[in-house]
């Protein structure tokens, strides 16, 4: 019975599937976040680093980007700055999901164009509400 209710809920949500690009180098975090977002009806493309970021964005056309700041191949702040410098990408909301807990890191990310900032470990229910709010802003 519960499975039927959940599958029905997922079908309704899938009619308006929103695309999220997740950039997270930690395999476990990437898998858990991807699965959690998928459960909530989002189509998720994930990357372990930024080497294929721009080609993935061009192909996948995400409506929202979740970005870790500590990546193996680029500083997340640098990538955030590069995103904001691209006119076709600057309107895609970027939410930071990072272990960097200092206020200075948050302020720097927000100054560079991030819309929201989450420090790991994150509260998943709050996280999903914030994503829904960001995507709702795009629809209006």
Predicted confidence (pLDDT) per residue in 63-118, tens digit: 999 999 999 999 999 999 999 999 999 999 999 999 999 999 999 999 999 999 99
Determine, yes or no, domain membership for 6.
no
Tens-place pLDDT, residues 4-47: 334 444 444 444 699 999 999 999 999 999 999 999 999 999 99
Determine, yes or no, domain membership for 69.
yes
Report the residue count for the chain: 140
Q: Supply the pLDDT for residue 138.
A: 87
Taking the model in full, what pTM does it have? 0.88
Q: H or E segment at 47? A: strand 43-47
Determine, yes or no, domain membership for 62.
yes
Contact 20, 64 (CB under 8 A): yes
According to DSSP, residue 70 is labeled: B
Determine, yes or no, domain membership for 5.
no
Q: Supply the pLDDT for residue 140.
A: 67
Read off the pLDDT of each residue in 108-134 and give the average, rounded to a whole number: 97
Q: Supply the pLDDT for residue 125.
A: 95
Read off the pLDDT of each residue in 132-139 and give the average, rounded to a whole number: 92
Determine, yes or no, domain membership for 76.
yes
Q: Which pair of structure tokens corresponds to residue 74?
A: 């680029």
Q: Which CATH number fits the domain that encloses residue 110?
A: 3.40.50.2300
Q: Supply the pLDDT for residue 139.
A: 77
Determine, yes or no, domain membership for 3.
no
The total domain count for the chain is 1
Q: Supply the pLDDT for residue 15.
A: 46
Determine, yes or no, domain membership for 70.
yes
Domain assignment of residue 75, given as a range: 14-139
Tell me how far apart the 2 most distant CA atoms of the chain are, in Å.
49
Determine, yes or no, domain membership for 111.
yes
Q: Supply the pLDDT for residue 2.
A: 33
């Amino acid at each position: 019975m519960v499975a039927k209710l959940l599958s029905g809920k997922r079908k309704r949500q899938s009619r308006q599937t929103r695309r999220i690009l997740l950039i997270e180098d930690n395999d476990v975090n990437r898998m858990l976040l991807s699965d959690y977002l998928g459960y909530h009806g989002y189509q998720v493309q994930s990357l372990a680093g930024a080497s294929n970021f721009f080609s993935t964005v061009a192909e996948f056309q995400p409506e929202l980007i979740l970005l870790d700041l500590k990546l193996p191949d680029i500083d997340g702040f640098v990538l955030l700055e590069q995103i904001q410098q691209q006119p076709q990408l600057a309107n895609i909301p970027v939410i930071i999901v990072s272990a960097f807990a200092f206020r200075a890191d948050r302020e720097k990310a927000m100054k560079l164009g991030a819309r929201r900032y989450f420090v790991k470990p994150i509260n998943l229910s709050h996280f999903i509400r914030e994503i829904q709010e960001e995507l709702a802003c795009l629809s209006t």
